[in-house]
Amino acid sequence: MSASITTINPATGRELATYEAMSDAVIDAALDTASASQTDWAHTGFDDRSKILHAGAAELRSRAESLALLVTREMGKPLAESRAEVEKCAVGLEYYADNAAGFLADEIYETSADTSWVSYEPIGIVLAIMPWNFPLWQVFRFAAPALMAGNAALLKHSPNTTGSALEAQAILEAAGLPAGLFTTLLVAEVDVPAVTERLISDPRVGAVTITGSERAGSAVGSIAGREIKKSVLELGGSDPFIVLADADLPKVAHLAAKGRFLNAGQSCISPKRFIVEAPVADEFTRLVVAAVESLTVGDPEADGTDVGPMARADLRDGVAAQVQDSVDAGATLLTGGTALDRPGNFYAPTVLGNVGTGMAAYHEESFGPVASIITVADADEAVHVANDTRFGLGASIWSADVDKAIAVGKRVTSGACFVNAVVASDARMPFGGTKRSGYGRELASAGIREFVNVRTWWAMNTPATVAPTSE
Q: Kindly report the CA angle at 217 between 262 and 259, in degrees rounded to 5?
A: 15
217 vs 345: CA distance, rounded Å? 26
In one-letter notation, the amino acid at residue 346 is F
DSSP 431: B
Cα distances from 265 to residues 249, 256, 336, 349, 468, in angstroms, run 21, 11, 14, 9, 55
**119 burial class (0-12, 13-18, 19+ CB within 10 angstroms)?**
middle
Mark whether 277 is an active-site residue. no
Find the catalytic residue in 59, 167, 268, 364: 268
Backbone CA torsion sign across 64, 70, 72, 74? negative
Mark whether 89 is an active-site residue. no
Find the catalytic residue in 234, 277, 364, 365: 234
Nearest to 153 by CA among 189, 178, 175: 178
The DSSP line for 330-362 is T-EEEE--SB-SSSSS-B--EEEES--TTSHHH
CB of 329 closer than 8 Å to CB of 359:
yes
**What is the torsion angle, in degrees rounded to the nearest 10, for the CA atoms of residue 435, residue 197, residue 430 and residue 174?**
-160
52 vs 144: CA distance, rounded Å? 10
Positions marked active-site: 234, 268
